[in-house]
Amino acid sequence: MTRYDERDTMFARMNYEAGSPEYRDYYSRHPELKEVDDELRSKLDLCDVSSLYYDLIEASEIRSNFSLVEDLRPLCEGMPSNNKFRSDSSSFTDLVKRVARDFGADLVGVAEMKPEFYYSHRGRHREHYGKKISDLLPFGIAFAVEIKKDMIDSAPAMTAMVESSRTYLKAATIGLSISYFIRSLGYSARNHMDGNYLAILPLVAEASGLGVFGRHGLLISDRFGPRIKLGLVTTDMPLKCDQSINVDLESFCGSCGICSTKCPASAIPVNGKEIVNGTRKWRISHELCYSYWRTNGTDCGICIRVCPFSKGIGFSQSM
């Protein structure tokens, strides 16, 4: 599988300011995306005062949560202690899982970091634009925090975005705590959080046994469905990897399709899977999805709200 370039992600593309070196470079290589991206950037910002679901207090919390996340972004990397603690992979795995749960993770698993789990190049922020990602640590500690059902049930209102911002912040602080702890034991550890990802978290989470992908393109966990926010710490601490979940939701999602019929942007396919970048999957239109975000002024969440797995059914009930 070819490694995906972070510069191609929607959040990265929306950061390219007209006339900037990043803008000129990216659209010289992808002229087919320039018109649609320029149109998306011209729409309302998230939490815009004129947006349909604007609420002063909720918008203020969202902005403050993401502002704190931004302030934490430089803390993702650090040097390990010179005093290396020795143990076996099973003991280390039990330790980091316990610590992750103590810090607030609701789900945690470990995966071998395949090269394709890492982005090929960075692209989210100007200071790292185009930098090749070559420091590929071998293990990933994937974790998830629950998105509260009563909050996501308000989607696409701003209340759901409040919960989204809270869980981004919670995942960031949990990951930082894990990475600082591992470095204190003498091993390299790198946190991956909103605005500072080197890896594609859903792929790592799937490999670590946290869930499987649904029609809406989101990772579905057995316990919470898609009501999860993911985090990741990569490390060279020797760890014992978990197995991915042997569950195929293609039949269930194929006959359900409620996320597709309820999507106001028609961003979720009504048909079956396709081959996308060498992988058979449902093709999501990120442009249509994000266009609705910018039209509505929130990060939507309808597909999470309506998914049957968000309502309490587990994998055993879907077979």
Task: Provide the sign of the torsion angle of the four alpha carbons 29, 40, 220, 71, taken in this order.
Answer: positive
Amino acid letter for position 315: F
Confidence of residue 136 (pLDDT cuts 50, 70, 90): very high
Distance CA 135, CA 138 (A): 9
For the chain, the structural domain boundaries read 6-317
Task: Report pTM.
Answer: 0.96
pLDDT in tens, 32-81: 999 999 999 999 999 999 999 999 999 999 999 999 999 999 999 999 99
pLDDT in tens, 75-111: 999 999 999 999 999 999 999 999 999 999 999 999 9
Supply the mean pLDDT for the chain: 97
Confidence of residue 161 (pLDDT cuts 50, 70, 90): very high
Which ranges constitute the DSSP H helices of 231-280?
250-256, 258-262
Q: What pLDDT does residue 278 have?
A: 81
Q: Which two tokens stand for residue 240?
A: 């014992």
Helix axes 89-103, 158-184, angle to 10 degrees: 140
The mean pLDDT value for 4-18 works out to 98
Q: Mind giving me the DSSP string for 150-177?
A: HHHTTTTSHHHHHHHHHHHHHHHHHHHH
**Phi/psi at 142 (nearest 5 deg)?**
-95, 140
Distance CA 99, CA 169 (A): 18
The mean pLDDT value for 238-250 works out to 96
The CA–CA distances, whole Å, from 183 to 215, 236, 288 equal: 38, 10, 41
Q: What pLDDT does residue 1 have?
A: 74
pLDDT in tens, 268-313: 999 999 988 788 999 999 999 999 999 999 999 999 999 999 999 9
Distance CA 41, CA 190 (A): 31
- For residue 130, pLDDT over 90 is answered with yes
Q: What pLDDT does residue 318 have?
A: 72
Q: Which two tokens stand for residue 92?
A: 């280390």
The CA–CA distances, whole Å, from 7 to 66, 134, 312 equal: 21, 16, 36
Distance CA 297, CA 157 (A): 9
The mean pLDDT value for 168-185 works out to 99
